Amino acid sequence: MRDFSSSPGLPECATVSEARLLSVLDTAADGIIVIDERARILIFNKACEQMFGIASVEAVGQNVKIVMPIEYAYDHDKYVGSYISTGVKKIIGIGREVRGRHADGTVFPLELSVGEAATPDGRQFIGILRDLRPRKESEQRLADLQSELVHLARVSAIDEMGAAIAHELNQPLTALMLYLQAIRRAHSRGMDINAMVGDILDKAAAEAERAGHIIQRMRQFVEKREPVRSVRDIDPMVDEAVELTLLGQRHRIRVEREFAGDLPPVAVDPVQIQQIVVNLVRNAIEAAAPTGDPAIRVRTRLRDGNVVIEVHDNGPGIAAPALPKLFEAFASSKRRGMGLGLAISRTIAQNHGGDLLVDPGGNGKGACFSLVLPVAPPPVPSEVG
């Protein structure tokens, strides 16, 4: 049985109240370590035994460095000495995140707060420690979940575009089939086709390539991947996304593109940004479709030091009651899809340090969504030499 009565440095556990204190320490969920002025461990509670894989009897009397990674351990005595001589508080009374070391060598994040007590035996420091790993794990899980959701929204967008894509693929497949059948027929009738067969085969190959390109574009967009930031020009990225959206679009619609052409680059995940643009353009087309002359305008420009991508439609605008819930997940009034589009889009924009804003329009004016992205910081000059 472990107890503290034999602990060196700690006075005999003479009174009942002291015994009670020690048992309280052992029931605490947080790790508690008490050290003296020379950083020797006086108390090492049960939670600490668990946290560091060291029994209390072994820990007590040793320098507190045994629970620190080497690089901290090296400086710790200096810190204690410096505080005692200067009185300047670096950690006392302030909680901070530090790293601890388990007996098996694992280094892990800890939240440490330190208090100080003057005792007849000199100054003692009380450290309260909380293992941060469960919190880090849940933060990681949250990040994973968010990335999963972003992916899901992209897949759902593609799913809704599925019928349109089938239509788009039908064109090159039709052409391909007819070219080949034309050659087949001519051949089987013994017609002299030598003069034209090369030309027809070239055209057939071009159609097959066209079908391949359509699939490639879809695949690039939908495949699950880690978010990757890179410094890019926004105009070509937006142009590509508009093209992708128009791919197999059933509504006939005028699309005006007004690109600034000279915008500073942005540091973004291109696929995620394109996901937003696809989403906005699709919404704009849906909003404009019922009007007699549907038209949308996609514009890029610089505003207040940010790059802004605007998507206007000439639909009826957004009704006031729908506005407050516009960016909420699952609040969509649309029949299809999950209503995740705008919620995800805004999250992505904000993760990029930007935002997604809306001018609802109305009274004969269509809606306008603005995707705002901060300009990329200037590149760090590369090393000289």
Partner 1 sequence: MRVHVVEDDAGVSDSLSLILANLGHDVISYPDAESLFRSPPPDGSDTVIVDLTLPGIPGAQVVRWLLKMAAVPRVVVITGQSQSAIDHQLRGLAPAGVVRKPLTVEALARALPAS
Which spans of this chain sit near partner 1 (rule: CB under 8 A)?
163, 166-168, 170-179, 181-182, 185-186, 200, 203, 206-207, 210, 250, 252
Nearer to partner 1, 90 or 336 (CB): 336
**Across the strands, what pairs with 311?**
298, 369
Nearer to partner 1, 91 or 158 (CB): 158
Minimum gap (Å) between residue 191 Cβ and partner 1: 9
Order the strands of the 254-258 sheet from edge to edge: 254-258, 295-303, 306-313, 368-374, 355-359
Residue recorded with tokens 């400086």? 75
Minimum gap (Å) between residue 279 Cβ and partner 1: 23
Find, among 279, 282, 263, the residue nearest to 348 by Cα.
279
Helix (H, G, I), strand (E, B) or coil at 245: helix
d(CA 317, CA 337): 21
Sign of the four-CA dihedral 81, 82, 88, 90: negative
Minimum gap (Å) between residue 202 Cβ and partner 1: 12
Nearer to partner 1, 205 or 302 (CB): 205
Nearer to partner 1, 103 or 208 (CB): 208
Minimum gap (Å) between residue 185 Cβ and partner 1: 6
User: Residue 152: in which H helix or E strand, if any?
Assistant: helix 133-188
Report the Cα–Cα distance between both ends of the chain, in Å, rounded.
65
Contact 370, 310 (CB under 8 A): yes
d(CA 270, CA 268): 6
CA separation, residue 277 to residues 184, 209, 218, 310, 320 (Å) = 44, 26, 15, 9, 23
Minimum gap (Å) between residue 175 Cβ and partner 1: 4
Nearer to partner 1, 294 or 361 (CB): 294
Minimum gap (Å) between residue 173 Cβ and partner 1: 4
d(CA 382, CA 195): 59
Nearer to partner 1, 145 or 166 (CB): 166
Nearer to partner 1, 185 or 219 (CB): 185
Contact 73, 81 (CB under 8 A): no
Contact 27, 116 (CB under 8 A): no
Find, among 1, 8, 113, the residue nearest to 55 by Cα.
1
Minimum gap (Å) between residue 212 Cβ and partner 1: 14
Nearer to partner 1, 113 or 249 (CB): 249
d(CA 130, CA 109): 9
Helix (H, G, I), strand (E, B) or coil at 29: coil
Nearer to partner 1, 280 or 285 (CB): 285
Minimum gap (Å) between residue 178 Cβ and partner 1: 4
Minimum gap (Å) between residue 179 Cβ and partner 1: 5
Minimum gap (Å) between residue 276 Cβ and partner 1: 27
Nearer to partner 1, 81 or 162 (CB): 162
